[in-house]
Structure 1
Amino acid sequence: MNAQARQNSTLAIVSLIAGILGWTLMPFLGSVCAIITGHMARGEIRRNPQLGGDGMAVGGLILGWASVVLWVLAVVAFLLFFGGLAWLSTR
C-alpha cells in the first residue's frame, strides 16, 4: 500500500494562481497569464503522464477566460452606452 504521489505541473499551479489574481489584484494581466500557462500546462501534462495537476490547469483556464469575457462585455457595454449618448446628443 505504498501509493506514490504524482508531482503536479508547475505551470498548472501558476495558471491557477494567475487565474485567482486575475479576479483580485491583477485583473487583465493575471487572466491572460492564466490562459497562456493553462494551455502550456495541459500540453505538458499530456506529453508527460507522470505529471498531475490537470484540474488546476483547467481551473486557471476557466478563471482566465471568464475574466476576459467579462472584460470584453464591459468594454462593449461602455462603448454602446456612451456611443448612444453621443448619438442622442447630436439629434
Structure 2
Amino acid sequence: MSHDDQPGGRQPDGGPQYGQPAYGQPQYGQSPYEQPQYGHAPYGQAQPPYPYAYPPAPRTNVLAIVSLVSAFAVSIVAVITGHIALSQIKRTGEVGRGMALAGLIIGYVGIAFVALFFIVWLVLFFSVMSMPGYAGTPT
C-alpha cells in the first residue's frame, strides 16, 4: 500500500505526506512566531481600518427623527424640522428622507385638523351666541 492509497494522503503512521507541514506547523523557512493569524496583521505591520468588515452604515438625520416624533405632539415643530431635515439630507446625503416626509405629512394633517376644529368651534360659538334669549339678548 503506497502513501497515495491512504485516505487524505497520509502516511501509514498517520503523519502528513513527505514535504507537507502538519496542520498548524510553520512552513519551510518560517518561524513559528511569525505566523499571521486571520484578521490580524503580522507583528510590526499596520492594521487595516476595517478588516473583513462592512463599512459603517450611513447616518440618519436627527431632525428627520425629531420631525416624525414631534408630528404626534406639536405639528408646527414637525413641519419646521421636516423642511430643515429635507434640505440637510439633500445637501449631506444622510438617510431619513422617509421619516422627514412622514413628519411633514402628519404635521400638515395635524395643523389642518387643529384649524378645522378651531373654525368649527368658532361657528358653533357664534351660532349659539346669536340665538335669541341667550347671554342677555332680549327675546
Q: TM-score, normalization: structure 1?
A: 0.80
Deviation at 1:6, TM superposition (A): 1.9
Higher gyration radius (CA): 2
* C-alpha distance after superposition, 1:40-90 (max 9, x if no partner): 0001011112x0100000111111111111000001000001111122225
Q: Which runs of 5+ in 2 are unaligned?
A: 1-53
Match of 2:68 in 1: 16
d(CA) in 1 for partners of 2:113 and 2:85? Answer: 24
Match of 2:105 in 1: 62
Q: Which runs of 5+ in 1 are unaligned?
A: 23-29
Match of 1:73 in 2: 116
Determine which of 57, 81, 106 is the counterpart of 1:37. 81
Match of 2:20 in 1: none
Match of 1:27 in 2: none
SS in 1 for 2:130: helix
Greater relative contact order (Cα < 8 A, sep 6+):
1
**Number of equivalent positions:** 82
Write the letter of the residue equivalent to 1:6: P
- Stretches of 4+ aligned residues off by more than 6 angstroms: none
d(CA) in 2 for partners of 1:87 and 1:57? Answer: 45
Deviation at 1:5, TM superposition (A): 2.3
Please, what is the CA RMSD of the aligned residues?
1.9
Q: Which structure's residues are more often helix, by fraction?
A: 1
Q: TM-score, normalization: structure 2?
A: 0.54
Write the letter of the residue equivalent to 2:120: A
SS in 1 for 2:57: coil
Write the letter of the residue equivalent to 1:42: L
